[in-house]
Structure 1
């Protein structure tokens, strides 16, 4: 048995994959076993090279194989890999990263609670929002409103907030006091608030651009409307920037496109480009000051790896690379080129419906009401054969492909992505 065969059998026997078909894993094993990454490319142990058109999980913003990040990790691990940040303990990378984030974040977001990833960041935001209202003498304000087509993670609270029904159906018991409203309907938000009672609502949370739910981009005035509603009813406005943060949309943070500032902002993924596990929640100056003024006991929330020294050191270097290499502007210009290419495909292929994108987040919808099964999984498989990884989204009756390549992508590589997508769509369309 060759190396792939040995690893395939070990994978099937011992490795339970996240967000996977367990039966498919057992029957077929891994489709790729990656061994190396360089730039926007991944190579598997068979020697196949593919474009990482999803930045793996929307997170490898600065691309693969960045030795600068490995060097920083090695240096920090040799000096101080980890120390507790509970109580009054701290470390230099965590302090410097929190200050750097305050300088980059929109508005008056100024203080950061660190987590190990996005789901933890979202759960933390819900707990901090509810604790805030306890401190304010209003413990009845505990309900969290999120939106349909949203994805906020898979911990218990994050699952309960996620608007994609299959994720909530996966478990037999959800956390209480979570509600969902139509994703781009500010009037529906107002009606839900009034129906439940404004004095029972703790917070409203939204992704600036919905990622895993299909790359849905809000109408121009939507976020200003929901922000005004939150202010009117005294409800905390939270944004989930786990996917959209750190340049993905052509700005540091996705909410900057809409001219509003949240009371809390969740982040992860792009903060370290996936080179270290890190996430967090940022608090506005007002919320932070009220926490300091009203708190009398211990903040009984925290993770072992909150403020992890090595992870924070990697994040600092990652932010430096994003700035030094002008990757936010590149995401904007290459995103415009990508969207223009998708629109060209739209004009040629009859099965393509809407195409949309902002920065290096884009989606292609497929249409045919009489079709018995979706075509996006077939196109994703065809694209993989041709050297491109992208993702199919089937939630809520969608038949959509999403794509989000690393922010370092070049013009000629965007052209290659478009060509592979077009050829793959043509192949499937021709066989219908």
Structure 2
């Protein structure tokens, strides 16, 4: 029996099946029973620099010995908080940005949504309330993020919308966005999207999608928000996905890769336009979190960014991109695999609809078979049968081969056992 309530879990199934992870190094982790696994998901998309980085642990310990943290409300801050803000602004694809820090990605999206609504009220446009998001998108699990997410199962069971004024559009359809903006542009506050959809199935954008969305936003005076919680800090081969796909947002939400998960931290990068009424004395943004800009977390982020820069890990992701993409395509020969997708060190193995309809337990069976082979992947149920691949950036080509070989064996075994030929 466990006292811990796991996220995204049917707790009736957890007792007797809980895996307690205890150590990690690079792409490898061990549980308390001594089993060794290749972490094909970088935990929850975040351990970009790999496990067991002593320099990050030492940076956090050193900061905690001096001052673990201090409130950033009002006029106080800490040296690592200021240093990290300057560093993030220097990296950002938004000129002259500022940073509002949070404790994670869900908080970052919540902050972005509140700021957008507050901004339009501050500039005398309170009618601009609607926030547009995409089908299949995921934007965290706070109230705003739950509604903005385009995975209906995540918002079921609450007796109605948690927040109002959210509209979803088809994933790749810019014409649907154009039509919506023509009809409702005067009431639309923002368009929010992930450069590459993550939990909705690892879905890269169609060619030219993001520049066209930016053009439509500018034409209709709609703010553009990039949810870079997964893609930020090198996951698709550039510091930010917006750089890779050629667009400039008004707001960027970040988390995960900023610390590689060594400490909780998130935030938003904000353009001069959006910050102006709040920095000029015209309005106040009454928002924040107890641990916003926490000193020890900022120390972790600075050490993590040092590693990313020193080891050229974003460039390494770009080099490994075609290798991973080619490797996952090899899985398409299996009878239960419909297709694969890849972008940077993100990939999806999509199981066929026919196989899933015939055997709804197929996805879980493949995940279990991979785990038995020492490969940790995640089944994205909201994406209708997708195996997630998002390893740490330090993965080697031989480790990619090992990972894909294990997944291929798992798929083949399950397909054979369940009568798919």
Q: TM-score, normalised by structure 1?
A: 0.93
Shift of 1:25: 1.8
Pair 1:299 & 2:285 matched: yes
1:41 aligned to 18, 21, 28, which one?
28
Shift of 1:414: 0.6
Q: In the TM superposition, what whole-angstrom CA distance separates every residue of 1:374-405 from its partner, at most 9, and x where no partner exists? A: 42221111000000000112225x22111100
Q: In the TM superposition, what whole-angstrom CA distance separates every residue of 1:133-169 from its partner, at most 9, and x where no partner exists? A: 1111011111111110000011111111111001111
How is 1:154-165 mapped onto 2 (pairs within 5 angstroms)?
A: 154-165=141-152
Pair 1:23 & 2:12 matched: yes
Moved more, 171-180 or 352-361: 171-180
Which residue of 2 is the match for residue 204 of structure 1? 191
Which residue of 2 is the match for residue 3 of structure 1? none
2-structure distance, mates of 1:105, 1:324: 18
Which residue of 1 is the match for residue 109 of structure 2? 122
Q: In the TM superposition, what whole-angstrom CA distance separates every residue of 1:96-142 from its partner, at most 9, and x where no partner exists? A: 11110111111315100000000000000011111111111011111
Structure-2 change in CA distance of 1:77 and 1:22 (3 Å)? same
2-structure distance, mates of 1:92, 1:66: 22
Structure-2 change in CA distance of 1:214 and 1:368 (3 Å)? closer
Which residue of 2 is the match for residue 192 of structure 1? 180
2-structure distance, mates of 1:110, 1:22: 43
Which residue of 2 is the match for residue 53 of structure 1? 40
2-structure distance, mates of 1:354, 1:76: 47
Moved more, 263-272 or 129-138: 129-138
Which residue of 2 is the match for residue 180 of structure 1? 168
1:73 aligned to 44, 60, 72, which one?
60
Say if 1:40 and 1:52, in contact at 8 Å, map to a contact too. Answer: yes
1:412 aligned to 381, 398, 407, which one?
398
1:25 alignment partner, SS class: coil
Pair 1:62 & 2:58 matched: no
Which residue of 1 is the match for residue 222 of structure 2? 235
Which residue of 2 is the match for residue 276 of structure 1? 263
1:160 alignment partner, SS class: helix
1-structure distance, mates of 2:353, 2:207: 29
Shift of 1:290: 4.0
Moved more, 249-258 or 316-325: 249-258
Say if 1:334 and 1:414, in contact at 8 Å, map to a contact too. Answer: no
How is 1:389-408 mapped onto 2 (pairs within 5 angstroms)?
A: 389-395=376-382, 398-408=384-394
Shift of 1:286: 2.7
Say if 1:122 and 1:240, in contact at 8 Å, map to a contact too. Answer: yes
1:262 alignment partner, SS class: coil
Shift of 1:429: 1.9
1-structure distance, mates of 2:87, 2:395: 25
1-structure distance, mates of 2:175, 2:45: 31
Say if 1:334 and 1:409, in contact at 8 Å, map to a contact too. Answer: no
2-structure distance, mates of 1:218, 1:113: 27
Say if 2:122 and 2:283, in contact at 8 Å, map to a contact too. Answer: no
The answer for unaligned runs of 5 or more in structure 1 is: 1-8
2:159 alignment partner, SS class: coil
1:22 alignment partner, SS class: coil
2:12 alignment partner, SS class: helix
Q: In the TM superposition, what whole-angstrom CA distance separates every residue of 1:21-45 from its partner, at most 9, and x where no partner exists? A: 122124x341x11111111111011
Structure-2 change in CA distance of 1:93 and 1:322 (3 Å)? same
Shift of 1:350: 2.4
1-structure distance, mates of 2:39, 2:396: 13
The answer for unaligned runs of 5 or more in structure 2 is: none
2-structure distance, mates of 1:368, 1:255: 32
Shift of 1:296: 3.3
1:89 aligned to 76, 79, 87, which one?
76
2-structure distance, mates of 1:315, 1:367: 40
2:393 alignment partner, SS class: coil
1:24 alignment partner, SS class: coil
Shift of 1:292: 2.0
Say if 1:109 and 1:282, in contact at 8 Å, map to a contact too. Answer: no
Which residue of 2 is the match for residue 430 of structure 1? 416
Which residue of 1 is the match for residue 348 of structure 2? 363
Q: TM-score, normalised by structure 2?
A: 0.96
2-structure distance, mates of 1:395, 1:72: 38
Pair 1:167 & 2:154 matched: yes
2:354 alignment partner, SS class: coil
Q: In the TM superposition, what whole-angstrom CA distance separates every residue of 1:275-331 from its partner, at most 9, and x where no partner exists? A: 0000000011232234323x4354210111111111011101100100111111221
1:210 alignment partner, SS class: coil
Say if 2:380 and 2:386, in contact at 8 Å, map to a contact too. Answer: yes
Say if 1:240 and 1:267, in contact at 8 Å, map to a contact too. Answer: yes
2:307 aligned to 284, 303, 321, which one?
321
